[in-house]
Amino acid sequence: MYDPKSKHAEDFINHEEIMETLDYARKNKTNRELIGEILEKAKKRKGLSHREAAVLLDCELDDKNQEIFTLAEQIKKDFYGNRIVMFAPLYLSNYCVNGCLYCPYHLKNKHIARKKLTQDEIRAEVTALQDMGHKRLAIETGEDPVNCPIEYVLESIKTIYDMKHKNGAIRRVNVNIAATTVENYRKLKEAGIGTYILFQETYHKESYLKLHPTGPKHNYDYHTEAMDRAMEGGIDDVGCGVLFGLELYRYEFAGLLMHAEHLEAVYGVGPHTISVPRIKKADDIDPDMFDNGIDDDTFAKIVACIRIAVPYTGMILSTRESKKCRERVLHLGISQISGGSRTSVGGYVEEEAEDESSEQFDVSDKRTLDEVVNWLMDMEYIPSFCTACYREGRTGDRFMSLCKSGQIQNCCLPNALMTLKEYLMDYASQDTREKGEAMIAREIQNIPKEKVRQIVREHLEEIEKGNRDFRF
Look up the CATH number of the domain holding residue 282.
3.20.20.70
Q: Which residue type, as a one-letter code, is found at position 223?
A: H
pLDDT-based confidence at residue 112 (cuts at 50, 70, 90): confident
274 — phi, psi (to 5°)?
Answer: -130, 125
**pTM (two decimals):** 0.93
- Tell me which residue of 373, 344, 345 sits closest to 86, measured CA to CA: 373
pLDDT tens digits, one per residue of 198-234: 999 999 999 999 999 999 999 999 999 999 999 999 9
- Tell me the C-alpha to C-alpha distance, in Å, between residue 297 and each of 23, 84, 332, 391, 429: 22, 22, 12, 38, 34
- Output the CA angle 48-394-158, nearest 5 degrees: 120
Residue 353 above 60 pLDDT? no
Q: Identify whether residues 60 and 84 lie together within a single domain.
A: no
Do residues 252 and 176 share a domain?
yes
The answer to whether residue 220 sits within a structural domain is: yes
Q: 338 φ, ψ to 5°?
A: -90, 160
Same domain, 317 and 443: no
Same domain, 47 and 81: no
360, pLDDT greater than 70? no
Any idea which of 144-158, 276-290, 328-342 has the lowest mean pLDDT?
Answer: 276-290
What domain count does the chain have? Answer: 3
In a domain, 25, yes or no: yes
Name the packing angle between helices 369-378 and 430-443 (round to 10°).
Answer: 40
Assess whether 42 and 112 both reside in one domain: no
Q: Nearest CA to 273 among 379, 141, 400?
A: 400
- Judged against a pLDDT cut of 60, whether residue 282 lies above it is answered with no
Range list of H helices, 86-137: 119-132
Query: Whole domain around residue 426: which residue ranges?
Result: 407-464
How does pLDDT run across 374-426, given as a tens digit for each residue? 999 999 999 999 998 888 888 877 777 877 777 676 789 999 999 999 999 99
The band of 352, judged by pLDDT with boundaries at 50, 70 and 90, is low
Whether 368 maps to a domain, the answer reads: yes
The number of residues in the chain equals 472
Alpha carbons 257 and 263: distance in angstroms, whole number? 10
- 211-224 as b/e: b if 16+ CB within 10 A: bbeebebbebebbb
| CA-closest candidate to residue 428, choices 340, 468, 387, 369 | 369
Do 112 and 173 belong to one domain?
Answer: yes
Q: Give the end of a domain, one of 389, 417, 439.
A: 389
Q: How far apart are CA 352 and CA 114, in angstroms?
A: 12
| Partners of 93 in beta bridges | 116, 141
Average pLDDT over residues 54-68: 98
Model pLDDT for residues 150-200, shown as the tens digit of each residue: 999 999 999 999 999 999 999 999 999 999 999 999 999 999 999 999 999
Using pLDDT thresholds of 50, 70 and 90, give the confidence band for residue 90: very high
- Residue 288: its pLDDT value, please? 62
Residue 400 lies in a domain: no
Q: Kindly report the backbone phi and psi dihedral angles of residue 168, in degrees, each rounded to the nearest multiple of 5, phi listed first.
A: -90, 150
- 198: amino acid identity, one letter: L
Share of the chain above pLDDT 70, in %: 94
* Beta strands 164-165 and 168-169, pairing class: antiparallel
The answer for residues whose C-beta is within 8 angstroms of residue 292's C-beta and 6 or more apart is: 244, 245, 246, 247, 248, 249
In a domain, 469, yes or no: no
State the alpha helices, DSSP H only, in 81-149.
119-132
Amino acid at position 240, single letter: C
